[in-house]
Structure 1
Amino acid sequence: MINVSTISTSFIILGLVEMERLKYFYFTISLALYLIIMLFTSMIVSIIVTEPRLHEPMYLFICNLLINGIFGSTTLFPKLIINLLSGSKIVSLVDCLIQAFCVHTFGAVELLTFTVMAQDRYLAVGQPLRYPTLMTNGKALTFIAMIWVTTFIGVLVPVMMTAWLPLCGININNLFCDNMSLVKLACGNSSVNNIFGAVQAFLMIFIALVIIIYCYIKTFLICLKVSKEAYQKAVSTLVTHLYAFSSFLITTFFVLLRYRLNSATFPLYGHITLSFIGLVTPTIVNPLIYGIRTEALRSKIIQNFRKLHDLRKPNV
């Protein structure tokens, strides 16, 4: 039997302990990053929402990707900024579980959205005449709703399994709470949680990668058979998606690598860096890639910046 008095209900975020010496520097960097992500991403989302000619499935999926980026950055930065300013390093179990749920939701929505976007481009290039009926805005919104609902259910199960575990440790070797960091603090046997989490993550990533790789290979093969103008337009769009997806894939590798490293031998700042890169990079890279490489978005962004510049000019 586990002694009830040893079960932990609050935890120390070791990442915050590591940042204590330069906390005002990290506070400034975190605040600046969060504001830049929110302002730039919100601007692109508002462009897609308010511009009628961008009301197409591809832009709806991009919009969902960017909204998820806002969700992901909000999962980390506000709490981090407040904790750095207040000097607090302790988090309750409930708050930790909520943050873990949000962190994993962000990652799963990102992966599923890229999967649907690959299928969307395959249909657009492979079935151009039937595409308007195969992928309508209504169907795109249905796919987006399914992504969020499926993710909520899929992430809730392992997080609830963790909530029922008796946790004896108090040190979270990270900058934020995630499910595996909590499972490692279990008093007894947590093999069921580990196996379930590993199998779920493997199946999800494997199936998504198979679909994405298949769709992009088939799409590129189709592009080789179309006219030069259609080829250039299709390939430009595909390359944009591949840039964004590759960035997400690399950061996911960093996160998976962190879970495989021995906490006793791998330095704490290494864990902080890998987890921070894994969560933050997609929220920065996605709006930059789609804002710069997507012509319709780029022209509207430049137009908005010019308007802001004109408003700052003093009236003569």
Structure 2
Amino acid sequence: MSLFAKNVSATITNFVLVGIIEIESFRYVCAVLALALFSVALFMTSMIVYIIWTEKSLQEPMYILICMLVINGMLGNSSYFPKLAIDLLSGCSTISLAECLCQSFCLQLYAWVEMYTFTVMAYDRYLAVGHPLRYHTLMTNITTQKISLAIYVLNVVKVAVSVLLTSKLTFCGVNINNVFCEIVSLQPLACSDITINTIYGNTWTLLDSISCLLVIVYSYIRTVIICLKLSAESSLKALHTLMTHILAFSIYGVTLLFVNFRNRLNRGSASTKLDVIIPLIGLGIATSVNPLIYGIRTKALREKIVCNLYKMAGKTKFKKRLNW
């Protein structure tokens, strides 16, 4: 590397989030929407986690995995929504390298934990429908908890290595064409060799994506085939649960593909308002929609949520009467 490149990279301590500048004209609207979406997702996630934690009848593998999924969604939400709202309200469009790497770590961890969790959920439903008599020995609560822990440990290590490799790079560019930081946005700004980073990232992406998708597709197909042989009532119940998983996974998958293609197609080009808003809305929906999908479409959760809301409303009315 040239002495000039070293000097330039040494002076770069902050990056510019060009996306923040692009939506400057309606930043207050975006900030309010970001906070509203974050608040709704936080409330629904808290309700689901509380209900699953307190209701013994719901402490089984399927609901433990749903709990893990919505908590992971809040990790993704929390990694960029609060900062985005603060940046929009304050007019700040810069981010330090340390903050950028931290945000990249959280977003990447969210994405891969989500993929792995959907994979385990698909296989769990296949076992529940295909092997009902052996299901409670094949998939116990302890087994589910161990799998969940393994998913986080594996992905924390994997993503930490990716972020560590990126932190070793020297940077000559400062403009990130997005409203948040991620590894694929940082690497094009490097003036040092990124071959190892690219090989490491692409290898894990291909291996994880292909293996997870194979398990998911196999589990879905096998579950549908088995459902066709069941009674009408059992078949409808199993297919309803399966469709909930497919809906949630489809939203996640489409969003992830769109964001990745957008990053590769626009690499090095100037951002436009449309290029910023569409991925922002997509990622916002992907990280926020799971609590709504599972809270509305899962009967046991829906009934408990409605019951708790009625209790909260009743207590509020009672307190108002006392104050009156």
- Specify if TM > 0.5: yes
Mapping 1:1-316, distance limit 5 Å: 1-2=1-2, 3=4, 4-7=6-9, 8-263=12-267, 267-313=271-317, 314-315=320-321
CA contact (8 A) 1:251 1:277 kept: no
Partner Cα distance (1:26, 1:277) in 2: 10
How much has 1:283 moved relative to structure 2?
2.3
**1:84 Cα deviation after fit:** 1.9
Q: Is the 2:38–2:288 Cα contact (8 Å) retained in structure 1?
A: no
Query: Does the CA contact (< 8 Å) of 2:22 and 2:271 recur in 1?
Result: no
Query: CA shift at 1:41, angstroms?
Result: 1.5
For residues 264 and 16 of structure 2, what CA distance do their matches in structure 1 show?
Answer: 22
CA distance, structure 2, for counterparts of residue 254 and residue 127 of structure 1: 36
Q: Which stretch of the first structure deviates more once superposed, 56-65 or 24-33? A: 24-33
| TM-score (norm. length: structure 1) | 0.95
1:3-47 deviations in whole A, cap 9, x for unaligned?
332002210111111232322222222211111111121111111
CA RMSD of aligned residues (A): 1.6
Per the TM alignment, residue 264 of structure 1 is displaced from its structure 2 partner at its CA by 5.6
The alpha-carbon distance between structure 1 residues 295 and 53, as it changes in their structure 2 partners (threshold 3 A), is same
Count of aligned pairs: 316
Matched residues in 2 for 1:126 and 1:85: separation?
A: 52
Q: Deviations over 1:140-183 (max 9, x none)?
A: 00011011111101111111111111111000111100001110
Q: Note if contact 1:258-1:274 (Cα within 8 Å) is conserved in structure 2.
A: no
Q: TM-score, normalised by structure 2?
A: 0.93
CA distance, structure 2, for counterparts of residue 125 and residue 266 of structure 1: 50
Deviations along 1:113-136, one digit per CA (max 9) or x if unpaired, are 000001111111111111111110
Amino acid at match of 1:268: T
Kindly state the Cα deviation for residue 232 of structure 1 after the two structures are TM-superposed.
Answer: 1.5
List per-residue Cα deviations over 1:170-202 (Å, max 9, x = no partner).
001111000011101011332332232222212
What is the CA distance between 1:265 and its match in structure 2? Answer: 5.6
Give unpaired runs (5+ residues) of structure 1. none
